[in-house]
Chain A
Amino acid sequence: EPEVTQTPSHQVTQMGQEVILRCVPISNHLYFYWYRQILGQKVEFLVSFYNNEISEKSEIFDDQFSVERPDGSNFTLKIRSTKLEDSAMYFCASSSLGGVNTEAFFGQGTRLTVV
């Protein structure tokens, strides 16, 4: 069964460092998303991406964040200069269609720890 894969499963980084979280969406999907879940809190939407551009982003997704689909298979989330409060589980998701009547498939997540 096709699945969304994320690497690494756990990343520890020092405050101020850049991190890149990687995702391989399901191959025929066209819509891509990043969500995050701070420990003990709800899952929050970060950004959606379609046709090589951002469709929507939340207020969390400030200038320190960027997304890219560099090679047609990977979908990456970059945090330019990490802060302690960026520590969270980051989930990538993809769907074949956008909007309603579509199911988003989630990866297993990358746990980012900023020290």
Chain B
Amino acid sequence: AQSVTQLGSHVSVSEGALVLLRCNYSSSVPPYLFWYVQYPNQGLQLLLKYTSAATLVKGINGFEAEFKKSETSFHLTKPSAHMSDAAEYFCAALNQGGKLIFGQGTELSVKP
């Protein structure tokens, strides 16, 4: 069965610092992977998705993620954090039926 694990329920960075949010998946077949962001009192917004076209995926707001099959990882990065990046981030894998399997979520705090 597919599962998604996000390491670190809380990550705190300084404004301008590198953001690294970790996601590992387990799957017997190549997965389709997503990162969603949830701002306070809002729904889930798609940041980016991996669908096997390219291992480095660029998303909105300067985020990108790299699919590494050898490490079963899909970590989310952003070179320079902005205060507006403070939110909860969810990694998710899509099964063949269209069901999303989410990780536990990582809350990102950005310090001035």
Contacts and interface: CB of A to CB of B under 8 A. Distances in A.
Interface of A: 4, 6, 31, 33, 35, 41-45, 48, 55-56, 91, 93, 95, 98-109
B45 A101 contact: no
A102 B98 contact: yes
23 contacts: A6-B43, A31-B98, A33-B98, A33-B100, A35-B102, A41-B104, A42-B104, A43-B90, A43-B100, A44-B102, A45-B99, A48-B99, A56-B97, A91-B43, A95-B98, A98-B97, A99-B96, A100-B32, A100-B51, A100-B98, A107-B43, A108-B41, A108-B43
B82 interface: no
Nearest to A10: B41
B44 interface: yes
Contacts of B43: 4, 6, 91, 106-109
Interface string B40-67: 0111111001010000000000000000
A91 B96 contact: no
B105 A103 contact: no
Interface residues of B, number: 23
Given A43-B90, A43-B105, A103 B98 contact: no
B103 A42 contact: yes
Given A43-B102, A91-B43, A106-B44, 20 more contacts: A31-B98, A33-B98, A33-B100, A41-B104, A42-B90, A42-B104, A43-B44, A43-B92, A43-B100, A55-B97, A56-B97, A98-B97, A98-B98, A99-B96, A99-B97, A100-B32, A100-B51, A104-B98, A106-B36, A108-B43
B105 A42 contact: yes
A106 to B, nearest CB: 4
Contacts of A41: 104
B105 A101 contact: no
Nearest to A97: B98
A101 B51 contact: yes
Q: Which 6 pairs from chain A and chain B are nearest by CB?
A: A106-B44, A108-B43, A43-B102, A98-B98, A106-B43, A42-B104
